[in-house]
Structure 1
């Protein structure tokens, strides 16, 4: 019962937490942290850009739902002249917003989930059966990425795996798709956000969480000064309620759970 009450509060009653996000951006800047997108940070690590700052916050936004709040996050970052990465699912692609993000100097890219999508579409619940179809799943990823790039008119070099309830049931992450070096080379993927090439250069990885936890494993404010290289993963849904989007997503999640 508590879980349901917490979910209802977080989805429909929670006051906007966007001022807190702006407070964190301001506090990190005042503490001497640079703010970078995933693409910028990876380029710096590879010696292809400015040397990575001693203290840095790498901002990753996963746009699972709620483009309205994603836009508000972007507005805050423009106000404070910082950069971030925004990863859009097929269901949240907004090429106008994505182009604004890129033209500003931040990164807009792909939040992929072909493994989970394939499993649900084909009604597959056996992990071995999914592994047997991995070639088809990888081909689907490559096709989707190519279509996005063609419509976007830009090359995408970093991508981020989406976590779906189907992945949890199968106990297989969507990152399994990119465990094929040939696929990465063919698609021009420089980094997946769970690659060791990125995570080995992060001292503290923080993700936002639903009410009442808010952050895991600790508040980003508490990380400032204690950790030099912070990756901060956020989702618009955790920062402001959007009744229409949350209701639509909850109903679709229920439908998928029943139909799968």
Structure 2
């Protein structure tokens, strides 16, 4: 019951945390942090431009709620910072994505083909899912090509989405990109969970529903303790959107039932 009430509060009663996010952006600026995207930070790592500087790598996973996504983007434009926005196929907004890129931030793909395939074909055995990885990779390849054609831009970094099916299967969507030939073919230079990126991050923080809000610690408390922080946020954890949350909850319930 406690978990249910906390979820109800998170989805329908939580006050907006947009002001908290803006306060963090200001605090990080005051502490001398460069606030940038996954793509930009990865480029700086490869060119040896991170030594002696402090960074917050802002990554937004757009699982739901384009309304709050736009509000986050407006805050970042106001303060002149950059970030990465990773969109699922279900949350694509190419006009917004082109605005994000034109500004200098990154818009790219939050992929989930492994989980989607398992649910579609009602596969609950991880071994059976792995046997179908060639098919799943073909779907990923086709989706990336379609994504880029519609977007009108090449994408260079992507981020794996975490679905309830991934947790049940104990399989990560990132297994798709364990195939280096597929990476080369698609031009994917960095997956957001790659060691080549995260080995240069001191602390990885992800947002959480209330009452926790952040895991493993609040970024406010870490600004004077770490020089390179990756902060992952989701619009759903920043501001409640009754319509979007209800839609997402019903969709997940339906998928769980038919799977």
Q: Determine if the TM-score, normalized by the shorter chain, exceeds 0.5.
A: yes
CA RMSD of aligned residues (A): 0.9
Per-residue CA shift, 1:94-129, capped at 9, x if unaligned? Answer: 000000000000000000000000000000001110
8 Å CA contact 1:127, 1:171 repeated in 2: yes
Asked whether 1:191 is paired with 2:197, we answer no
| Equivalent residue, structure 2, for 1:248 | 247
Per-residue CA shift, 1:35-70, capped at 9, x if unaligned? Answer: 01000000111118x556610000000000000000
TM-score (norm 2): 0.99
| Equivalent residue, structure 1, for 2:22 | 22
In 1, Cα distance between equivalents of 2:101 and 2:151: 10
Aligned residues: 259
In 2, Cα distance between equivalents of 1:3 and 1:52: 43
SS of equivalent to 2:212: coil
In 1, Cα distance between equivalents of 2:227 and 2:153: 32
In 2, Cα distance between equivalents of 1:96 and 1:4: 36
8 Å CA contact 1:60, 1:231 repeated in 2: yes
1:54-133 equivalences under 5 Å are 54-133=53-132
Asked whether 1:217 is paired with 2:216, we answer yes
Point out 4+ residue stretches in structure 1 off by more than 4 angstroms: 50-53
Per-residue CA shift, 1:130-161, capped at 9, x if unaligned? Answer: 11000000010010011000000000000000
Per-residue CA shift, 1:155-210, capped at 9, x if unaligned? Answer: 00000000001001110000100000000000000000000001000000000001
8 Å CA contact 1:207, 1:216 repeated in 2: yes
| Equivalent residue, structure 2, for 1:161 | 160
Unaligned runs of at least 5 residues, structure 2: none
- Per the TM alignment, residue 16 of structure 1 is displaced from its structure 2 partner at its CA by 0.3
In 2, Cα distance between equivalents of 1:35 and 1:11: 28
SS of equivalent to 1:86: strand
- Residues 129 and 191 (structure 1), Cα distance of their counterparts in 2 relative to 1, 3 Å cut: same
- Residues 45 and 196 (structure 1), Cα distance of their counterparts in 2 relative to 1, 3 Å cut: same
| Equivalent residue, structure 2, for 1:12 | 12
In 2, Cα distance between equivalents of 1:125 and 1:151: 33
In 2, Cα distance between equivalents of 1:100 and 1:53: 31
TM-score (norm 1): 0.98
